[in-house]
A and B are shown apart, each in its own frame.
Chain A
Amino acid sequence: MADMEGGTAQFEEDDHRAVYIFNPGDGDGDIQLSARPAKRRKVAKKDASKLQQPRAALSLGSEFTPLFNGLERPAAVELRKHLFETAWPVLEDGIQHVLREANRNTLDEVASFLQQDPGSQTGKIAAAFIITGPNIASQDLLFGQLGSTLCTATQARFVGLRASEAPNLKAALKKIIRDATARVVDDEEDDLELSVGQDGRKYLDYDLEALHVFLRHQHSPRRVIVAFQDSEAFDSGLLADLITLFHSWHDRIQFDVLFGIATSVELLQARLPKSTACRLHGAQFDVVQANSVLESVFKTAVAGSQASLRIGPSLLRSMVERQQHQVAGIQAFISALKYAYMCHFYANPLSVLLDIERCVDRGLLQPEHIEAIRTLDSFKHHTEAAVEARQLNHALSLLEDDEYLITQVLEQKQKQQEYLTRLLRSLHLVTSSGLNSGFFVELYMLALSTGIDLDEKSGAFFLVDGLRRLSPDEFLSLIDRISAAMRTGSPELGLEPWIADVDEFARSLADLRDEVEGLLLRSKNKGTTLKSKYSAQSRVLRTTVVAQKVQLSRDTATLTEEDNAFTAAIDTLAGLLSENLHCDSIDNLFLYEAWVYDCKTPYLDVFVPRPGATFGRSLSRPHDYLACDCCSQAKGSLTSSLPTTSILYHLYLEAGALINVADLWSAYYTLVGDESEIGLDERSALVHFYRGLAELRMMGFVKQSRKKADHIAKLKWL
C-alpha cells in the first residue's frame, strides 16, 4: 500500500500544508507553525546562546565526501576542501574586480553627467540613457554599481525600478518613496515614522509630498535618481505619467532618471509622447560589450596565472560557445567556471597533487593515490614514451617503485609551472606583436589543444607571412612592442615582467633592432627605400602578366646590400620568435589530469538540461532507470510490465492529435487486464489507468478537449 500511495504515514500531515519549517526530530505537536507565539518564544531561548556564532554559517554543509569508495583519508579530504577554498575566492575577487572595472568608464561618465546637473539649467529632467544590450542578467550588477557610485558622487537618493515591481503609477511611486526614504536612515525609527510629517500630518504612501517633507527633514540635497532598469518592459503610459509627475515636482525635488535600454534610444523615444520626451534632457552612454567583458574575465580567471586549476580546451570551448550562441550572460560563464572548480576538487582525488609538497610532508598519499596515478592516460603515454626511448629503468621504476613515482610527481610541479609560464608568455607576445588578429580567447583555447608552433603553416600561430610583409618601420615597432611586453608583463594575466629571464632573446632582439636601424639610416643616406626580398616580390606580383617575368628578375637584381641585410634580419627574427614562442598542447604533459579539468558532461547536464529528452526517455524506456528484470526485454517498446504511465505514454505516442479515452482505456485494459499475463481485474486496472492519466495531465502531455465526449487533446509532440 505504501508504495502505491507514494508517501508514508509519517509525512502525511505535512503534505497538505503549504509551507512549514522542517523539524524532523520533534514530534508532531511541535511543528505547529501556525501557532506563531509559541514558536517565537522557543526560538528566542535558543537564539540567546547562539548570537556569538561567527559568520561561519555560510560554509555550512560544504563537506567533501571521502573518495576511493570511502577509503580516502580524512586529511586528504580536508586538503581537497582547503585547496578549493583557497583557489576559488582568489579568482572570484579577481572577477568581481574585472567586472567593476569594466563598467568603470560608464559609471564615471554617468556620474559626471549628473554632476554637471544639466537639468537645473534647462528646467528639464536630466536623463541618462544607458545602452545595456539585450542581456538582462547583467543589468542588476550594473545598476547596483550605478547606485553606489551615484550616491557618493551626487549625494542623491538612488531608486532602482523594475517593470515587474512597478505595474502601475501608484506602485511605482510607493516604491520610489520607500526606497528613497529608507536609504540613509540611521536608525530604524525613522522608517516607521516616515508617513508622519513633522507637523504630525500624515501622508499617503504614494504622495510625493511625504518624500519632500522627509528630504527637507533630513537636510540633504533634495535630489532623487530614479533608474528604470528594463525600460522596454515598462508600460509607455506609465513612463509618461511618471515623467510628467517628476517634472511637475521639479521645483521641490530634483528628479533625474536613468534608463536601461536593451534596444535603442530611438525606440524608447518613439514610445513616449512628444510632450513627455521634450521634458527630458538626455545623454546616451554605452556599456562595454559583452565580448570584451568576457575576454577580460577570461584573461583573469581562466588564463591568468592566478588560476590554479586549468580548464581544458573542450570544456572551455563549450562554455565560450554558450556565451556566444545563447544570451547566457557573463554570470553564466562565471558560474560554470566555479562549477568546474567544484567538480574538480570535489570528485577528483588526485586534485591533492596540486599541493604535492604538503601531501608528501604529511604523508597523505595512500596506495590508492599511487594506483590512481598509474591508471591515468598521461601516465600511460609517459611510460610508453619512456620505453620507446629505451629508458627502461625509468619506465620500470615508474611502474613498480612508489617512492620513485612520488619524486617524479614532485618534479612535475616545477614542470607545470614552467609550462604555464611559457604558455602565457608566448601567448602574450603573440597577441602584443599584433601580427595575429585572433581573439585572445580563441588563441588560448588553440594553444591548449594544439600547442603553439610558429613554424606550422596551417596553424593559427603562423606568423612568418605577417613578418615578411613588414616594412622596416613596422619591423622596428614590432620589436619595440615585443620587448615592451617582456618588460612590463601583463597584470591582467598575472604575468610579471620577465625580460631578465630571457637575456639572450632580449639581447638578440636589441641587436636586430640596432642593425635594422642602421640599415634604415644608410639607405636613407643613399636615397633608396629599404625593402626586403619578400616585400619586393609581392610588389612584382601585382604587375601585369606579360611583364611579370622580366620585372621579377629586375627587381631582385635591384635589391641593394641593405635590402639583403634587412631580409636576413627578418629571417632571423622569425627564427628567434619560433624558437622562443613555443609550447606543447596541454595533454602532452605528464600528470596533467591533476591540474586540468576538461570534462564536458557535468557541465552540460547541470547547466543546459534537456528535460524533454529526460522525460521522454524515462517514460519510453523505464528500464534505463529501474533496471528491473521484468522490463529488460522491452527495449523501448510496449510491454505490459511497464509502469502504467509508461504504457499510456507509448499509446499516447501512437495516437493522433485527439485521443479517445475510451479507446485508450480499452487498449490499456487489453494489455494488462484479466487475459494478459499481468491479470489485473477491471477496477484495479482502472485505478492504475486513472493514475497514469492524471500524471500525463500533470506533466502537460494532455488537456481536456470539448470537441467530443470523453476525448482529450494531445499537447506534446516529442
Chain B
Amino acid sequence: MARNKSSAEATAPRNLRKRELAIDPYDVPDETASPKRQRRSKPPEVVSENHEDEEADGDEIGSISEPTPRKPPGRAPKQAAAKTADVQTSTPSAQRHKTVAETPVKLNGFDTPSRQNIADRSARRKSARALIDRVISDAVSDDDAEEEDIAREIYESSEDEEADQEEQRDGEEGQEPTTPSKAPGRKRKAATARKRSPTPPRDLPPHEQYFYQNKPGLTKTSNNNLSMLDLLTHDEYFSVLRQLKDPHASSIDSLQALHAKSFPQWAFELSQGFSTCLYGYGSKRRLLQNFATYLTSKIPDRNHKIIIINGYVRTLTPRDILSSLSAALPSSSSSKLPIGGSNPTNTLQNLLSHFSSSSSLTITLLINSVDSQPLRKTPIQALLSQLASHPQIRLACTADSPDFPLLWDAGLRAAFNFVFHDCTTFAAFGPAELEVVDDVHELLGRKARRVGGKEGVAFVLRSLPENARSLFRLLVGEVLAASMDSQGGGGPDGDVDVDVASVEYRMVYNKAVEEFICSSEMAFRTLLKEFHDHQIITSHKDSIGTELLSLPFRKEELESILEELTA
C-alpha cells in the first residue's frame, strides 16, 4: 500500500519543484488522498485546510479569504478560524496571545483548532523523530525515501504553518496599531519564521557547511536518473579509452620528472632509517617503479633486494608479503624457515631473526597504495611497521587517499619513522589499480560485478542443473511481479530502481516447493548459495527481520532474462 502511494507521489511532477517553494498546489491532492496521511492527522478536513493556508501563503501572504475550490467543507472552518482571530484581536494582548498560540477556545461547534493543533504537533514530533532516526541509522529500507519525504513534508508544513499564523497576526496588528506591545515570546517566534533562502550561504567553513548540508529537509535532489544513459560496459570502456588522449600528458610527464629529481634524497632518507610515504593525487605507481629502477642502478649490490607490494590487489594477504620476504633470503637460511607456519607473527619473528643473522642483506619494500582496502587492517600495518623498524629493511610507500594518516597510531607511526612527501602526479590510475567500471557501477548501486549483466547470467545458469534454472526463473518472475505491483498504476514514470523490488524468502521457498524445484529448505539454500556465489542475487533483511531476496539487475534486463529462460 505504501509503495502504491509512493510511486504515485514519485509520478507527481515534484521534480520540477524547487525545495523552497513550500508546498506545490498540485501536490496537495496526492497527499490528502494518501491514506497514511489521513491516518496521521486526525481530522482530514482541518489538515487540508491547513494545507490550503500554506498554499495560499505561498502565493500571497495573509490572503485569508482566497477561494479553495477543491475542498468545500474545508472552507467553513477556515472562515471561522479567521473570525476567531478577528474576535480575539480586540481582547487584551496577553490572553489573546495565549489563546491563539496554545489553546484556542472552542467556537461554533466546529472541530476545535486545539485538537487540530495537538494532532498536528504530534505528527510533527513523530516526523521529526523519523527524520532523526533516519539520519542516525542511515537505514536502507525500501520505502525509506518515501517515508522520509512524507515526514519531511509534515515537518516543514508545520513550520510554515507557524510562519503563516505569525504573518497573519502581524497583518492584523498592522491594522490595529492600538494593540499593546507584543509579548516577548511572540517576537521570538516571528524571528524564527523565516523563509529559507534559495541560494546556500557562501564561503562557509567546512564544518558549518557540513551541518548546513545535512540539515533535515535540505537533501532535496532532482529525480533525474541515468536511465536514459547507456552505461558503459568493460569492453566499451577500454575501447574508447584506447582512443582518448590526455591533453595534460606533457605536463604530467614533466611533473613526474620533477619528482624523479628527488630520488637521491629519498634514497638518502631510506638509508638513514626513515620510511618515506608519498602522498598526493594521482597514480604514483610509475613513480615508485622508476624509483625502484633508480635504486637498483644506484645499489648494484646483489645483497640488496627490492620487493614491490601492490596494495591495490584485492587478494593481497600478509602471507604473500612474508613468503616473498623469505624468498628474498639467501637459500641457506630460507630453507629452514617454516613459511607455511600458520601464524604470521610467528613467521615474522623467524624472518626477522634470520635477517639479523645474515647481516649483509638489505631489503627495500616498496608499497603501492598503502591505504588500500586489503592493507587497511591494523594487523597488517603492525606487521609492516615491525618490518620497517628492522634496520636492514627499508620501506617506501604511496598513499592515495587524503585520510591515510589515520592508518597509524602513535606507536605504529614511531615504528615506521615516516617522512612524508607531497607527490601529486596527476597520472591516471592504471586498470590494475582502479577498476573504473566496476567501481562506478557499485557506486551507482548496479552491482553487476563481473557477472556481466544478462549474458553473464545466462552463462552462469547454463552451468547449473535444471532445477537451479527453474528456481532462477521463478525468482525473476516473482521479482518482476513485485516490481509491477510496486508501481501499480504508477503511470509512465515508473522508473524506480527495480533493485528495490524484492521478494520474501519464505514466499519464494513455498513456491519452489510447490513447483517441485526443491523438497527441503536445505536444498533450497544450496541453490541460492550458488546464485550468491555468482553474485546474481542479493539478500537482505528488512526492518522487522524478514529475509528478502532481490536481483541486482534492471527491469529490462530481468525481462529479457525471463524471456530467455522461458524460451
Q: Interface residues, chain A, CB within 8 Å of chain B?
A: 1, 3-8, 11, 14-22, 24-25, 33, 36, 39-41, 43-44, 46-47, 50-51, 53-55, 57-65, 135-140, 164-165, 174-175, 178, 188, 327-329, 331-332, 335, 338-339, 342, 346, 605-607, 609, 611-612, 614-616, 618-619, 622, 625-628, 630, 641, 643, 645, 656-663, 665-666, 683-684, 686-688, 690-691, 693-695, 697-700, 702-704, 706-712, 714, 716-718
Task: Give 1 or 0 for each of B395-434: 1 = CB within 8 Å of chain A CB.
Answer: 0000111111100011101110101111010111111111
Docked-complex contact A19 and B324, CB < 8 angstroms: yes
Docked-complex contact A700 and B444, CB < 8 angstroms: no
Give which listed residue, A62, A616, A630, contacts B267 with CB less than 8 A: A62
Chain B nearest CB: distance from A619 CB in Å?
6
Give which listed residue, B224, B309, B429, contacts A666 with CB less than 8 A: B224
Give which listed residue, A55, A609, A698, contacts B405 with CB less than 8 A: A609
**Chain A binding site: helix, strand, loop or mixed by DSSP?**
helix
Q: A136-B410, A178-B346, A698-B401 are in contact. Are A704 and B445 (CB under 8 A)?
A: yes
Give which listed residue, B245, B281, B444, contacts A3 with CB less than 8 A: B245
Check B130 for interface membership: any CB of A closer than 8 A: no
Check B91 for interface membership: any CB of A closer than 8 A: no
Give which listed residue, B271, B293, B346, contacts A60 with CB less than 8 A: B271
Q: A41-B331, A136-B411 are in contact. Are A662 and B226 (CB under 8 A)?
A: yes
Nearest A residue (CB) for B497:
A709
Q: Sorted from nearest, which 8 A-B pairs have the closest CB atoms?
A: A137-B414, A15-B432, A6-B430, A62-B271, A609-B420, A22-B306, A626-B251, A709-B497
Check B137 for interface membership: any CB of A closer than 8 A: no
Docked-complex contact B331 and A662, CB < 8 angstroms: no
Q: Tell me the complex Cα distance, A135–B413, Å.
A: 12
A-B contact pairs, 18 of them (CB 8 A): A4-B246, A22-B306, A24-B296, A57-B359, A61-B304, A605-B421, A606-B421, A614-B402, A618-B280, A618-B282, A625-B255, A626-B252, A626-B426, A630-B247, A656-B200, A656-B220, A657-B218, A690-B232
Q: Tell me the complex Cα distance, A63–B272, Å.
A: 11
**Chain B binding site: helix, strand, loop or mixed by DSSP?**
mixed
B496 partner residues in chain A, CB cutoff 8 A: 709
Q: Interface residues, chain B, CB within 8 Å of chain A?
A: 140, 144-145, 148, 200, 206-207, 209-210, 213-214, 218-226, 229, 232, 236-237, 240-252, 254-255, 264-265, 267-272, 274, 279-283, 285-286, 289, 292-293, 295-296, 298-299, 301-310, 313, 315-317, 320-321, 323-324, 327-332, 334-336, 343, 345-346, 349, 359-362, 366, 378-379, 382, 391-392, 399-405, 409-411, 413-415, 417, 419-422, 424, 426-437, 439-440, 442-445, 495-497, 499
Docked-complex contact B301 and A57, CB < 8 angstroms: yes
Q: Tell me the complex Cα distance, A717–B212, Å.
A: 11
Nearest B residue (CB) for A710:
B225
Q: Tell me the complex Cα distance, A628–B426, Å.
A: 12
Docked-complex contact A706 and B445, CB < 8 angstroms: yes
Docked-complex contact A43 and B331, CB < 8 angstroms: yes
Give which listed residue, B206, B224, B309, B497, contacts A718 with CB less than 8 A: B206
Docked-complex contact B244 and A612, CB < 8 angstroms: no
A7 partner residues in chain B, CB cutoff 8 A: 285-286, 430, 432
Q: A50-B360, A58-B271, A630-B247 are in contact. Are A15 and B332 (CB under 8 A)?
A: no
A616 partner residues in chain B, CB cutoff 8 A: 402
Docked-complex contact A5 and B241, CB < 8 angstroms: yes
Docked-complex contact A686 and B331, CB < 8 angstroms: no
Q: Tell me the complex Cα distance, A628–B279, Å.
A: 22
Docked-complex contact B229 and A660, CB < 8 angstroms: no
A688 partner residues in chain B, CB cutoff 8 A: 244
A662 partner residues in chain B, CB cutoff 8 A: 222, 224-226, 229
A609 partner residues in chain B, CB cutoff 8 A: 279, 405, 420, 422
B345 partner residues in chain A, CB cutoff 8 A: 165, 175
Docked-complex contact B430 and A684, CB < 8 angstroms: no
A53 partner residues in chain B, CB cutoff 8 A: 301, 303, 360
Nearest A residue (CB) for B321:
A19
Chain B nearest CB: distance from A291 CB in Å?
17
B252 partner residues in chain A, CB cutoff 8 A: 3, 626
Docked-complex contact B267 and A61, CB < 8 angstroms: yes
Give which listed residue, B213, B270, B366, B424, contacts A614 with CB less than 8 A: B424
Docked-complex contact B310 and A717, CB < 8 angstroms: no
Q: Tell me the complex Cα distance, A649–B414, Å.
A: 34
Docked-complex contact B268 and A346, CB < 8 angstroms: yes
Q: A33-B324, A60-B271, A645-B281 are in contact. Are A164 and B241 (CB under 8 A)?
A: no
Docked-complex contact B331 and A20, CB < 8 angstroms: no
B285 partner residues in chain A, CB cutoff 8 A: 6-7, 11, 15
Docked-complex contact A19 and B308, CB < 8 angstroms: yes
A-B contact count (CB 8 A): 376
Q: Tell me the complex Cα distance, A668–B258, Å.
A: 31
New A-B contacts (18) at CB < 8 Å, excluding given A14-B310, A717-B210: A1-B241, A19-B310, A53-B301, A137-B410, A140-B415, A335-B417, A614-B281, A614-B422, A645-B281, A656-B213, A658-B219, A688-B244, A693-B443, A700-B402, A709-B445, A710-B224, A710-B444, A716-B402
Q: Tell me the complex Cα distance, A137–B417, Å.
A: 11
Q: Tell me the complex Cα distance, A338–B144, Å.
A: 57
Q: Tell me the complex Cα distance, A69–B268, Å.
A: 18
Docked-complex contact A6 and B391, CB < 8 angstroms: no
Give which listed residue, A63, A338, A699, A710, contacts B226 with CB less than 8 A: A710
Docked-complex contact B267 and A63, CB < 8 angstroms: yes
Docked-complex contact A57 and B280, CB < 8 angstroms: no
Q: A7-B286, A687-B244 are in contact. Are A44 and B431 (CB under 8 A)?
A: no
Nearest B residue (CB) for A606:
B419
A618 partner residues in chain B, CB cutoff 8 A: 280-282, 424, 426
Q: Tell me the complex Cα distance, A384–B241, Å.
A: 64
Q: Tell me the complex Cα distance, A81–B97, Å.
A: 86
A657 partner residues in chain B, CB cutoff 8 A: 213-214, 218-219
Give which listed residue, B207, B264, B279, B327, contacts A65 with CB less than 8 A: B264
Chain A nearest CB: distance from B423 CB in Å?
9
Q: A657-B214, A658-B219 are in contact. Are A22 and B366 (CB under 8 A)?
A: yes
Q: Tell me the complex Cα distance, A338–B250, Å.
A: 37
Docked-complex contact A628 and B248, CB < 8 angstroms: yes
Q: Tell me the complex Cα distance, A622–B427, Å.
A: 12
Q: Tell me the complex Cα distance, A343–B129, Å.
A: 58
Nearest A residue (CB) for B339:
A36
Chain B nearest CB: distance from A169 CB in Å?
15
Give which listed residue, B283, B315, B379, B415, contacts A6 with CB less than 8 A: B283
Docked-complex contact A332 and B424, CB < 8 angstroms: no
Q: Tell me the complex Cα distance, A606–B422, Å.
A: 9
Chain A nearest CB: distance from B398 CB in Å?
12
Give which listed residue, A4, A622, A683, contacts B428 with CB less than 8 A: A4
Nearest B residue (CB) for A624:
B424
Chain B nearest CB: distance from A413 CB in Å?
27
Docked-complex contact B424 and A625, CB < 8 angstroms: yes
Give which listed residue, B242, B302, B323, contacts A46 with CB less than 8 A: B302
